[in-house]
């Protein structure tokens, strides 16, 4: 979903409201990345919703993929949707371990990310 955000709007509030309109109140909404594209700044968000809400939605499997990389000081020249999703899921795995509010919110019935996605901060700087 692509949303345009006015200069006086909070992008997090706009995304949260859009998710709520389409599928219900999100459990967690987190900005995972930004990049320049189409003469604008594009922000990516990951929204976690109740598993019960997913029943009536079309879904596709999400597999692991390599992150889009370049150098430590330059953005990748091309970023695929699967790479944006991977990056967002890594963010969520990190938040579950580091942010007590997110950890409590997603305990019991939340996604099974802690076992499948391990945060790997600064992997590209080895």
Could you tell me if residue 86 is inside a domain?
Answer: yes
Residue 24 contacts residue 53 (beta carbons within 8 Å): yes
Let me know if residue 1 belongs to a domain: no
Give the C-alpha separation, 33 to 28, whole Å. 16
Instruction: Give pLDDT, residue 2.
Output: 82
φ, ψ (nearest 5 deg) of residue 42: -105, 120
Domain-located, residue 3:
no
Question: For residue 6, is it within any domain?
Answer: no
Q: What is residue 109's predicted lDDT score, i.e. its pLDDT?
A: 46
Residues 6+ apart with CB under 8 A from 5: 11, 14
**Count of the separate structural domains present in the chain:** 1
In a domain, 17, yes or no: yes
* CB 27 within 8 Å of CB 105: yes
* 0.85 exceeded by pTM: no
Tokens read off for 18: 């859009």
In a domain, 2, yes or no: no
Mean pLDDT by 10 residues, the chain (126 residues): 89 94 91 83 88 71 85 87 87 83 72 57 55
Query: Is residue 113 assigned to a domain?
Result: yes
Torsion of CA 12, 16, 22, 28, to 10 degrees: 120
**Domain limits at 58?**
11-125
Residue 103 lies in a domain: yes
């Amino acid at each position: 979903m692509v949303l345009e955000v006015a200069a006086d709007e909070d992008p997090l509030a706009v995304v949260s409201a859009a998710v709520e309109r389409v599928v219900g109140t999100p459990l967690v909404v987190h900005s995972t990345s930004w990049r320049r594209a189409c003469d604008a700044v594009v922000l990516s968000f990951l929204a976690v919703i109740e598993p019960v809400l997913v029943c009536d939605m079309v879904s596709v499997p999400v597999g692991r993929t390599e992150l889009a990389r370049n150098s430590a000081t330059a953005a990748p020249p091309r970023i695929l949707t699967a790479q944006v999703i991977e990056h967002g899921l890594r963010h969520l795995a990190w938040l579950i371990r580091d942010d007590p509010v997110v950890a409590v919110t997603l305990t019991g019935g939340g996604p099974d990310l802690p076992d499948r996605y391990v945060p790997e901060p600064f992997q590209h700087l080895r």
